Structure 1
Amino acid sequence: MSNRSLAVTEQIRTAMASSNPDDIVTGVKEAVAQEVTSLSPDAKIVLTSYFNHTYMPDLVLEWHDAGKRDSRPIFLRNDLRPEVTEQDVRSLARQEPVVLSLTALDEPSVAAGPLRERAREANRVLVTDVVSLADMATPFGTQRSALHGQEDAPLLRLVQANLLKGGRGLLTPQDVERLAQSATPPDSGVVLTDQFLATFQETTDEMFAPDAALRLRRSAELLRLGLSTEVIDAVTGLNGELRD
């Protein structure tokens, strides 16, 4: 676990230890909202009056894309017990939510396979935990993440910003590491290779809904053009719309 994930885990543990129910709810939601904001600073987080409810979300993420309002509900759960979470995935699928555990899923786990399959089948349900969100905010540790900031790793920043908006399937700390690596070129300032783009496309197709994966792929293509010395020739081969 990173320093950030340890810190948010302790923050949630402290909140849960309170004897005041209102303090528990407020403390937990504030800790989660902090991690959500770190990934999607352009979005608005709405805290609802519910807590750990069966079909009413704890938080709602709201944002604008190409001038249109969009949103995604976030349901908090104490843990990701596979048999219970699989039921959540099925019953909440129409809401296209994020099902977020307050404790980390221990992977590899023999029970993670069926849960991963159910989350994948739901197509627009993201099942993850607060540790994974914290790890995604600083995927390489504090020092290295500073070196791979928004200017040096713009593709990684786009992945971070779109994870809660368009992510899908089961996302564990191991998945976070793979996703972050796929979005971070080994050398900054160099033309992205075909192999890098192929790996990035494969990973985003797996971990993002189709429309979000397409936008990320087009972003990668534009980034490649920006680093290319043959921009004019390459631009003629692109078509389609790239939104926010």
Structure 2
Amino acid sequence: MSDLIEALHAARESYVREDYASRVKQVFREHLELLEPDAEIEDTLYFNHSAIPDFKLTWGRGAKGKSSRDVFLRSSYAAVVAGNETAHITNGDPIFLSISADQVVEESGFAMTKADVSRAASHARYSLLTDAEAFKEIAAPAADDNPLSSAVRSNFLRGGRGLVDEPVAERLLLTGNGTGENVTDLIRETFFEDAVVRMERTALLVQWAMSPDTAMDVLARIDGAMSTDELRSVLPWLLGRATAPKGDDFWTALGSLFNFEQLESLASELNGMDLTRLVQANLRTWSAKRAYVGLNVDAEGNPVSPAESATDDDGTEPGGPDEESEVASSGWRFDSGTLGLALGSTMIRVSNSGYKLKARPGSSTPKWSVAVGRLDGFSLRSASISGIERAFRIDARESGNVKRDVETVVSSVEDSYFVSHVEVVLPGPDLGDEDAGAESASVDFAGGIVVAERAVQLGALTRAAANLLANEELDEEL
């Protein structure tokens, strides 16, 4: 791909009237395709016509498409200003693309200042006035993976408006790099309303991530629901930044913009990344249906020993009780398509998918005398108990907790009792207690899995799996 400015310069230097127009249009078409690979680009076969565009860009399927814009190539800003074109040509949300970037003209009979260019751009609300230098700046390959810079590029032709010359283009591409400029104001000045909606939330998140000390009122302006594509663009970048905010407020606000199902859909993009801060901040508001307890294995598939999991990254032992607890209860990551929490040699995986998490084949079940202690703190709706000579199931009819009933039966008839399944009560999403919005969850001891009838709080589901199946005591903070 040739440099836009150099290619235009070469076309002028070797000017041949018969092919100049086709050469210039071919150069611009190549760069339009680079910036908008998903757009249909129609060459009208006109060049620099006063009323007919040079190109028509269409986004969406079919000839009509979902949206379109007309592109008018002009030799200079002066041609646009002299013809008052931004006032006269308004259909098709036109883009006026000047080959020359000069905005000051002092000639006999005609003079133009930068103010004249700005005034021309302001005449039409849905017109974009730009030039080859700015276009080159926007279309250039990204120097980094900043999601806001990517959003500027992807929305420039479809949603740009007003005057975007080279200085404005540079400001737009730098908005996500900690320049201190009010990002949202610049976006509102430069893009259509629908593009602003797509970009503003990304802008605020990037601004906060680049400047963790930004005032808390930024968080209050982050709302709505993120699309999965938007999340895919922003989340890996946020998680990978060393300067990403460490406070729960940020991660809670971020987590409120999407749900756990969306997070699961990004499993491959987030594979291996540390999600601990994000997940822990949203344990009450996110929900899932399944939690599976299995072995914690390393990249080679070898079981991780408790000693290995309790060491710091440099191989040293944790410095004290608090640090040891932090190490043992951290490490939310995606692996093999599911989100998991490592607890020593145990891995607890959570998901909504019965395809991803299934009960394992097995017959080992704990004795009731062992399991009963783990049930402290849980409301027991039913229990399936089996002994050498007899088996029974006790269900709650009026009582909310049948634990005492099971104890009465077990103590009255001597036998060696094992428990295969219990049904416990877990809180539904967005609820802080089990009395309102509570849901039933079945605990399969032999299968190593907890399955809720309807989605329950992610934190409560994880604690149930850890406490009941792995005999790992987890507190509210995990």
TM-score above 0.5, yes or no: yes
CA gap 1:230/1:35 in 2 versus in 1, 3 angstroms: same
SS at match of 1:117: helix
SS at match of 1:61: strand
Aligned length: 210
AA in 1 matched with 2:25: K
Q: Structure 1 residues 111 and 82 mapped into 2: Cα distance closer, same or farther (>3 Å)?
A: farther
SS in 1 for 2:84: helix
CA contact (8 A) 2:159 2:191 kept: yes
What residue is the counterpart of 1:191 in the other structure? none
In percent, how many aligned pairs have the same letter? 28
Query: Which one of 127, 140, 152 corresponds to residue 159 of structure 1?
Result: 152
* Structure 2 CA distance for aligned equivalents of residues 64 and 114 of structure 1: 36
User: Which structure has the larger Rg over C-alpha atoms?
Assistant: 2
> Which residue does the alignment assign to 1:205?
188
Which residue, out of 170, 180, 185, partners 2:177?
Answer: 185
Question: Which secondary structure does the structure 2 equivalent of 1:74 belong to?
Answer: strand
Question: Which one of 73, 76, 79 corresponds to residue 73 of structure 2?
Answer: 76
Checking the alignment, whether the CA contact within 8 Å between 1:86 and 1:119 is kept in structure 2 is no
* 1:169 match: 162
Report the Cα distance in structure 1 between the residues aligned to 2:73 and 2:157, rounded to whole angstroms: 14
- Asked if 2 retains the 8 angstrom alpha-carbon contact of 1:35 and 1:130, the reply is no
Q: CA deviation at 1:92?
A: 0.7
Relative to 1, partners in 2 of residues 1:53 and 1:99: Cα closer, same or farther, differing over 3 Å?
same
Written as runs of structure 1 = structure 2, the 5 A alignment for 1:80-119 is 80-81=77-78, 84=81, 87-106=84-103, 111-119=113-121
* Structure 1 moving runs of 4+ over 6 Å: none
Structure 1 alignment gaps of length 5 or more: 188-194, 237-244
Equivalent residues in 2 for 1:1-244, closer than 5 Å: 7-16=3-12, 17-21=14-18, 23-64=19-60, 69-81=66-78, 84=81, 87-106=84-103, 111-138=113-140, 145-146=142-143, 148=144, 152-182=145-175, 184-186=176-178, 199-220=182-203, 222=226, 226=235, 227=238, 229-230=251-252, 234-235=256-257
Measured in 2, the distance between the counterparts of 1:84 and 1:176 equals 21
Deviation of 1:85 (Å): 5.2
| Aligned-partner residue type, residue 187 of structure 2 | T
Q: List gaps (5 residues or longer) in structure 2.
A: 107-111, 204-221, 239-249, 259-478
Instruction: Output the aligned Cα RMSD.
Output: 3.0
Distance in 1 (CA, whole Å) between partners of 2:31 and 2:114 is 24
CA contact (8 A) 1:82 1:112 kept: no
Provide closer, same or farther for how the CA distance between residues 83 and 230 of structure 1 changes in structure 2, counting only shifts above 3 A. closer
CA contact (8 A) 1:127 1:170 kept: yes
Normalized per residue, which structure has more helix? 1
Are the equivalent residues in 1 in contact too, given 2:80–2:86 (CA < 8 A)? Answer: no
Quick one: higher RCO (CA 8 Å, sep 6+), 1 or 2? 1
Separation in structure 1 between the aligned mates of residue 102 and residue 48 of structure 2, nearest angstrom:
17
Alignment partner, residue 370 of structure 2: none
Report the 3-state secondary structure (helix = DSSP H, G, I; strand = E; otherwise coil) of the residue aligned with 1:100: strand
Provide the rounded CA distance (Å) in 2 between the counterparts of 1:105 and 1:93.
Answer: 23
TM-score scaled by length of structure 2 = 0.40
Note closer, same or farther for the CA distance 1:71–1:85 as it changes in structure 2 (3 Å cut): farther
